[in-house]
Structure 1
Amino acid sequence: MLQVLFYKLFLAVAFGYVRIGLIFLAACVTWRAFTIYRIHRNRPRNIYITSKSYSIGKWVKNFDFITNAPTHILRTSRKLGYSSSFAIPSLVEHQVLVAGQQDVEALCNSSEGVLSFHEAMTDRMKHYYTMYGFEHNNIDPHDNVPIRAVKVLLRMHIPVLRPLIRRKIREGFETAVANGHRVKNWSSVSIFQLSKMVIEESNAQVILGDELGNNPECVRAAIRYSTDAVITAEICRQLPPMFTPIIATTLMRWSGAMDKVANFIRPVVEERMRTPSKESSNATSYNDCIQWTIDSSHTPAQRATPRLVAQIIGILLASSHQMSMVLVYIIYALCDHPEYIEPLRKEIVEAVNKNSKDPLKEMHLLDSFLTETSRLYPPDALTVQRKVKKPFTLPSGAVIPTGNLIAVPVLAQARNPEVFPNPETFDGRRFLLKDGQTKDKDAVSRFTDVRYSFSFWGAPRKGCPGRWYVSETLKQAMVHLLANYDFELEDEHASRFMYWTTAIFPRPARRILLKERGIVC
């Protein structure tokens, strides 16, 4: 009798799961069919489109765009001569990729009400679910809180933070090398894990402060959180929006990292809100983004604890994920072009002797090398991404209906021979002053420069507010690696990158061999 009841219960549960699966499948098919129709209906006019948006075979599977979008974008840009805008039917809209000076300037200088940065990022990152309920709304419509906290206060405090960043980078390298696999006299380390350990532990200290940045459990949760958020956002982009609340919530709770980070941040925020303000003579001084976010929040809604916690978590994610990927690409470039290693080491020694307080200011070759690396190896094929809220006409004549995405194909933009001579060739000295040029007379290209011809940092009108901090951290990591280690790729022929839509990720399995030089800097 019990066996019969158990069997019936098993069948009931099994059929229940089958019904749920069929409902999910039917919803996906219906959503895909509606999306195909919407993409075709909203197709841009007067512009080259790479393929038919209503091809059923392409849009049911869409594997080509998901797994190979950067290659497709680069191939089309090359075909059109790098100066013509074009459109690609993607997952849920056309992606209009602008080229040519006038079209790029029109995109970069558009208003939020016409081409929306916030809606594009919300579609991509699913902020509400991946950033602890954060929403861009009238509480801070112009992003004054994060811009002041990061662009003004964080940048202003870089000299104070410099020794801390240097120490955390040193500790990150030492831990990675100590935990690596021994290969003769070398330590074999995953390049991506090394980069995450170096960058994200340093970043946790800067964003969360001494108390939380020195808490191993909090730092581990912060590192795991950034991975969870990116994976969750990318998975949800492939599925019907109606499933996002269930799937995103489930994925973000899988490890519980985001909730752990929030639970660490909340009591710190509450305690600091009870302490005297920074204007008081009795105020405690904190040099971290928790305090700067509090100081930059002025209205009651901005200073509500849930809002502050979500804002800080958003800054933590924005400042960690792509920076660690860029460091991986810097390491690749150094290994691929070892002829720059000794000149860079020589420059480091000379810069320290010339300006021990801020030697990075004297490291012009290092700055140029970093700029050239970011030119050829950005972490995403697109930048200046905007959602079209009102019909938009480019100077080239293309008409873009609402609902589409418009962006600069930065991976292709950097290969325009009219802007960068011999663009496929890595030239670590490309951005140095040439003979006859002077700093006062000629425009000098620096890593933190924002310009129309190369949009690595976004639009000149609204460039990345944290680029000075990112530059400082990446340069400190480069200096430490060059000064203290010999290094080479464990397998220089192994595949290094993988694509997921337009994002360019380093393969976690790629490894580097490290050995201390015996010359500690």
Structure 2
Amino acid sequence: MSTLSLSPQALALGAIFLATFLIPKLLQWRARMDKLNAIPTVGSSGLFSSYLSARRYKMHAREIIQEGYTKFPGQAFKVPLPDRWEVIVSGKQMMEDIKKASDLDLSFIEAVGETMQSDYTLGLPARVDTYQVEVVRTPLTRNLAARFDDLRDEIKAAFADEIPAKETEWMKVPMLYTVMKIVSRTSNRYFVGLPLCRDPDYINLNIEYTIDAFNGAKTLQRFPTVLKPSVLHDPSSTFAEIFASIVRQFLTDVPTCLKRATKHIEPLIKERLQKEVDFGSSDWPDKPNDLISWLLDEAKGERRKDIIYNIVSRVLLVNFAAIHTTSMTFTNALFYLAANPHLAQPLREEIESTVAEFGWTKAAMGKMWKLDSFLKETTRLSGLGGLTMSRMVLRDFTFSNGTVVPAGTIVSVASYGMHHDDALYEDPETLKPFRFSNKREMEGEGIKHQMVGIDPSFGLFGGGRHMCPGRFFAVNEIKALVGHILVTYDIKFEGDGGYPEPDWNGASLSPNGFAQVMFRKRSATPASTT
């Protein structure tokens, strides 16, 4: 019986491998875990028991986040996820630390890449070069007043098609999907114009893309990070690219959505590119004032490479952000209105008097303090999830209170706990629709407490340099949508239905997808007919 013997050369190579690769990696992992272990855990922190806690987090994230927020006020705690640890913080000072941090320390883009698995679900170009963000921040926002008539026109047409209620009887409407169709139409009247914004396939593909991106991210989050090589961080890796292609093809519907979107948008892009050639300028007569034009204006030089794919993918991405946030916020507001019909009258009075003076305009939206307060309050109570201001720690970060979070960790703010904190909000579990408008009536407070404003106690739009650039468009659109409903319909839940419980999936939240709302058309009023 022979024994296996190793040559001195093999032993030497093994020792070199251990010394140069494996041992440094183990030491690096150990140093990182030492820093994470210094942060208290909500749930189990054992090597295997943490996976059980991660499974519980999927169904009970709200309770877990609230437990950590209560146990560790103004501090950090961590929770186990299937593929990583997440550190959650609270308190004004820790939030300020995140807001002021350099992108070289705490990265918003990298956090989105991790939480949304964007290499696979949203595509790589818009993550590598985020010029669509500047388009949303500047031309998309600045043109809102000039294009408001288009938004108003599409809102009237979309509701007439999707909710053709009569004055003589109540109509039952499945709310969430109907809202998504209306929001898709309205947003795309602004983004791509007529007739494309009304094309059924184009409307549906934007909704499907939004839903599929979230579902794809949730699926991918179940796998450890080591199994998901990053194309962005290792673009030369053939394995990473092949893996990403397989994931996109079989775990998401992104390739199909891109093909469908390209079919609709490519002719518009080519037509505008030809106009630039014909007129020798990017500024030509009757140039459409929309998202496609704004993106093309921003895409100069090297950005013109593979221009069709780059513009189409960014139009889809902007739609994804607009449809998700607006639809969730709008649906929650309608649920609260249907559960509290007595709130309709004071809101209608404000809307009708304001529209009588200013018309359906962006300026009018800014005068509707009660409506703004109602929307901010319903969003405070429901929100879009349990966390906000997520950042990827790129190099070890030390908070003002001495907490050290190691590189490679996602850190977020416990927005749900903050929104339900009785130290920040009086009677926080109660809907007080005019909580914020009442504050604005105090001397010197007129421009404070707006939904779009910077409020350290309100986390819907994040904070700091990465505060949502599309919040002005979103809030004005939601006001116009809810305003139209209030002056056009009576709404209620069937029977004595109250606010339907939302659907939680991990720290993400979605309005109840099965809830239906009853609509009845009101007699025409001056505000509803203009």
Normalised TM-score (structure 2): 0.83
Matches of 2:31 and 2:323, distance apart in 1: 34
| Cα pair distance change 1:255/1:106, threshold 3 Å | closer
Q: Does 1:129 align with 2:132?
A: no
Matches of 2:501 and 2:259, distance apart in 1: 32
Partner of 2:69: 77
The partner residue of 2:428 within 423, 430, 452 is 423
Which deviations, in whole Å up to 9, do the C-alpha atoms of 1:39-74 show, x marking residues without a partner? 993652543321232252441583311122122212
Decide whether the 8 Å contact of 2:440 with 2:448 is kept in 1. Answer: no
Matches of 2:203 and 2:264, distance apart in 1: 10
Which deviations, in whole Å up to 9, do the C-alpha atoms of 1:285-312 show, x marking residues without a partner? 2122111111122232355412222222
Partner of 1:311: 314
C-alpha displacement of 1:275:
1.6
Unaligned runs of 5+ in 2: 1-25, 229-242
| Cα pair distance change 1:151/1:411, threshold 3 Å | same
Matches of 1:229 and 1:482, distance apart in 2: 32
Decide whether the 8 Å contact of 1:173 with 1:194 is kept in 2. Answer: no
Q: Does 1:155 align with 2:141?
A: yes
Partner of 2:205: 221
Matches of 2:168 and 2:86, distance apart in 1: 50
Secondary structure of 1:464's aligned partner: coil
Which deviations, in whole Å up to 9, do the C-alpha atoms of 1:349-399 show, x marking residues without a partner? 111122224322221100111111111111121111111111111112211
Structure 1 window deviating more from structure 2 (202-211 vs 246-255): it is 246-255
2:39 aligned partner, one-letter code? I
Q: Does 1:49 align with 2:33?
A: no
C-alpha displacement of 1:454:
2.0
Within 5 Å, give how 1:400-479 maps onto structure 2. Answer: 400-434=405-439, 437-439=442-444, 444-479=448-483
| Cα pair distance change 1:325/1:436, threshold 3 Å | closer
Within 5 Å, give how 1:61-140 maps onto structure 2. Answer: 62-80=54-72, 82-137=73-128, 140=129
C-alpha displacement of 1:517:
1.0
Decide whether the 8 Å contact of 1:43 with 1:94 is kept in 2. Answer: no
Matches of 1:200 and 1:225, distance apart in 2: 12
Matches of 1:105 and 1:216, distance apart in 2: 44
The partner residue of 2:171 within 187, 191, 199 is 187
Decide whether the 8 Å contact of 1:40 with 1:53 is kept in 2. Answer: no
State the identity %: 23
Secondary structure of 1:514's aligned partner: strand
Secondary structure of 2:302's aligned partner: coil
Secondary structure of 2:344's aligned partner: helix
C-alpha displacement of 1:84:
3.1
Partner of 1:15: none
Partner of 1:24: none
Within 5 Å, give how 1:15-26 maps onto structure 2. Answer: none
Matches of 2:59 and 2:520, distance apart in 1: 35
2:508 aligned partner, one-letter code? A
2:66 aligned partner, one-letter code? L
| Cα pair distance change 1:205/1:103, threshold 3 Å | same
Matches of 1:250 and 1:209, distance apart in 2: 33
2:291 aligned partner, one-letter code? C
The partner residue of 2:501 within 481, 485, 496 is 496
Which deviations, in whole Å up to 9, do the C-alpha atoms of 1:97-128 show, x marking residues without a partner? 11122111001111111111111111122323
Matches of 1:380 and 1:402, distance apart in 2: 25
Which deviations, in whole Å up to 9, do the C-alpha atoms of 1:328-350 show, x marking residues without a partner? 11112212333321100111111
Secondary structure of 1:300's aligned partner: helix
Q: Does 1:206 align with 2:190?
A: yes
Matches of 1:401 and 1:90, distance apart in 2: 16
Matches of 2:288 and 2:422, distance apart in 1: 48
Matches of 2:476 and 2:162, distance apart in 1: 21
Which deviations, in whole Å up to 9, do the C-alpha atoms of 1:84-103 show, x marking residues without a partner? 33221222222211112211
| Cα pair distance change 1:429/1:253, threshold 3 Å | closer
1:53 aligned partner, one-letter code? S
Decide whether the 8 Å contact of 1:290 with 1:312 is kept in 2. Answer: yes
Matches of 2:335 and 2:78, distance apart in 1: 32
1:65 aligned partner, one-letter code? Y
Partner of 2:393: 388
Partner of 2:233: none
Which deviations, in whole Å up to 9, do the C-alpha atoms of 1:12-61 show, x marking residues without a partner? xxxxxxxxxxxxxxxxxxxxxx9xx9899365254332123225244158
The partner residue of 1:322 within 313, 322, 325 is 325
| Cα pair distance change 1:79/1:443, threshold 3 Å | farther
Q: CA RMSD in A?
A: 2.8
Which deviations, in whole Å up to 9, do the C-alpha atoms of 1:248-278 show, x marking residues without a partner? 3224349933320133222322321222279
| Cα pair distance change 1:230/1:258, threshold 3 Å | farther
C-alpha displacement of 1:161:
2.1
Secondary structure of 2:504's aligned partner: strand
Decide whether the 8 Å contact of 1:410 with 1:455 is kept in 2. Answer: yes
Within 5 Å, give how 1:330-409 maps onto structure 2. Answer: 330-356=333-359, 357=361, 358-409=363-414
Partner of 2:238: none
1:467 aligned partner, one-letter code? R
1:154 aligned partner, one-letter code? L
Secondary structure of 2:252's aligned partner: helix
Matches of 1:426 and 1:278, distance apart in 2: 57
Partner of 2:236: none
Matches of 2:419 and 2:191, distance apart in 1: 31
Decide whether the 8 Å contact of 1:95 with 1:404 is kept in 2. Answer: yes
| Cα pair distance change 1:199/1:78, threshold 3 Å | same
Partner of 1:248: 248
C-alpha displacement of 1:443:
5.7
| Cα pair distance change 1:188/1:52, threshold 3 Å | same
Secondary structure of 1:87's aligned partner: strand
C-alpha displacement of 1:192:
0.4
Matches of 2:34 and 2:162, distance apart in 1: 50
C-alpha displacement of 1:280:
6.1
Structure 1 window deviating more from structure 2 (260-269 vs 192-201): it is 260-269
Unaligned runs of 5+ in 1: 1-33
| Cα pair distance change 1:255/1:185, threshold 3 Å | farther
Decide whether the 8 Å contact of 2:212 with 2:253 is kept in 1. Answer: no
Matches of 1:229 and 1:262, distance apart in 2: 18
Decide whether the 8 Å contact of 1:127 with 1:134 is kept in 2. Answer: no
Structure 1 window deviating more from structure 2 (86-95 vs 407-416): it is 86-95
| Cα pair distance change 1:281/1:56, threshold 3 Å | closer
Structure 1 window deviating more from structure 2 (411-420 vs 247-256): it is 247-256
Partner of 2:150: 164
